[in-house]
């Protein structure tokens, strides 16, 4: 999975461009490496990204990863991220932080660096 063709430095650059002050941004990555952004529905969007799974429907069979930004923080996994990622074990998960893009994978009950 970590050697998948869609996961490359161009994608990391495209994700880094989404990092901006303000609300957390996020969405999914498709099997051709394209980045889809969803509307963040969190009550506290400065600190959390919450998405309506209905936004996934058009892309259902093409999603290979999730992504979201940490506008004022590093790409370190939060407790919320850990819980969310474990709900989507087949995907990789990218966090875009002030220190760059970090990739995570779900292995059994754990979330590990990918
Ligand atoms: Zn996060």
On the 0-12 / 13-18 / 19+ scale of CB atoms within 10 A, 69 is buried
Ligand 1 is a single-atom ion; what residues have CB below 5 A from it?
Answer: 78, 81
Rounded to the nearest whole angstrom, what is the distance from the C-alpha of residue 66 to the centroid of ligand 1? 11
In this structure, the number of other CB atoms found within 10 A of the CB of residue 72 comes to: 13
Rounded to the nearest whole angstrom, what is the distance from the C-alpha of residue 69 to the centroid of ligand 1? 7
Direct distance between the N- and C-terminal alpha carbons of the chain, in angstroms, rounded to an integer: 8
Q: What is the pLDDT of residue 66?
A: 96
Rounded to the nearest whole angstrom, what is the distance from the C-alpha of residue 96 to the centroid of ligand 1? 8
Please give the model's pTM, rounded to 2 decimal places: 0.92
Rounded to the nearest whole angstrom, what is the distance from the C-alpha of residue 95 to the centroid of ligand 1? 6
Spatial distance between the Cα atoms of 39 and 24, rounded to a whole number of angstroms = 10
H/E stretch holding 16 reads helix 9-16
Nearest to residue 73, comparing CAs of 44, 97, 93?
97
Spatial distance between the Cα atoms of 22 and 72, rounded to a whole number of angstroms = 9
Rounded to the nearest whole angstrom, what is the distance from the C-alpha of residue 26 to the centroid of ligand 1? 9
Low-confidence ranges of the chain (pLDDT < 70): 1-3
Q: What is the pLDDT of residue 4?
A: 80
Spatial distance between the Cα atoms of 90 and 100, rounded to a whole number of angstroms = 23
Rounded to the nearest whole angstrom, what is the distance from the C-alpha of residue 11 to the centroid of ligand 1? 18
């Amino acid at each position: 999975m970590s050697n998948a063709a869609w996961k490359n430095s161009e994608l990391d650059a495209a994700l880094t461009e989404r990092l901006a002050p303000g609300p957390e941004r996020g969405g999914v990555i498709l099997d051709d490496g394209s980045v889809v952004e969803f509307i963040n529905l969190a009550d506290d969007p400065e600190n959390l990204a919450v998405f309506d799974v209905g936004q996934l429907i058009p892309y259902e069979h093409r999603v290979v990863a999730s992504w979201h930004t940490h506008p004022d923080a590093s790409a370190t996994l939060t407790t919320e991220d850990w819980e969310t990622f474990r709900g989507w074990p087949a995907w990789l998960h990218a966090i875009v932080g002030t220190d760059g893009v970090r990739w995570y994978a779900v292995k059994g009950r754990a979330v590990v660096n990918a």
